[in-house]
Amino acid sequence: MSEITPASSQNSAADSAVTSQRTTATGVDLAPVIISPSKNLWRIEFIFYSCMLVAASIAIFPFFFSAFYWPILWLVFSALIFIALRTRWRAQKLPAVTFSVEKHVWRLRDTTGEFTVVPYGEILLWSWVIILHLRNPVDGKKYHVVALTDSMKEEDWRRLRVWLRTGLRKNL
């Protein structure tokens, strides 16, 4: 079963907004929302990895010339940081995914096609981030959809947050 983690501000204007959702006999549907990779998340990761590299460089500096292996270790660590940044940059360039719910069926569409998913674990819902843990029931492949406020249009962001707060309980 999924669990909704409450937002940090329960009385915000976005939380009290009412959305027009299609209602069926089986529950509340969610119109498709398009979720793009977040540029802000890329910036945060870049700053984080850069700080790691700077901190490691400062920590190693006194020992840099004392033994032959310190420069090698620093080069290996720098290469790993570069590989991690490159991997995240490539992930940031991926096309958007579309998420929707209709008649209790959760759907996720990406470049490979549209498929049915089910939630597993917790669904994180804060005022600035939404993390959906989804699993394809056919092949068991897991998808982690991370959406920040810049990942989608403001209307889609609000609609998804309201649906996760209200419609999710009716759809499970």
pLDDT tens-place string over residues 85-138: 999 888 888 888 899 888 888 899 988 889 999 988 888 899 899 999 999 999
Task: Give the pLDDT mean for 142-169.
Answer: 88
Cα-flanking dihedrals φ and ψ of residue 61, to 5°?
-50, -45
What are the start-end ranges of the H helices in the chain? Answer: 13-16, 39-60, 69-92, 154-162, 168-171
* pLDDT at 12 exceeding the cut of 60: no
Q: Average model confidence (pLDDT) for the chain? A: 80
User: 142-148 and 129-135 as β-strands: parallel, antiparallel, unpaired?
Assistant: antiparallel
Cα-flanking dihedrals φ and ψ of residue 37, to 5°?
-60, 140
User: 113-119 and 97-102 as β-strands: parallel, antiparallel, unpaired?
Assistant: unpaired
> 13-68: per-residue pLDDT in tens?
343 333 333 433 345 788 889 998 888 988 999 999 999 999 998 988 888 778 88
Structure tokens at 10: 């329960």
Q: Are 52 and 80 in contact (CB under 8 A)?
A: no
For the four alpha carbons of 38, 143, 29 and 14, in that order, the dihedral sign comes to: negative
**Structure confidence at residue 111 (pLDDT):** 85
Single-letter residue type at 10: Q
Report the length, in residues, of the chain: 172
For the four alpha carbons of 62, 68, 70 and 71, in that order, the dihedral sign comes to: positive
What's the pTM value of the predicted model, to 2 decimals?
0.67
Residue 64 is classified by DSSP as T
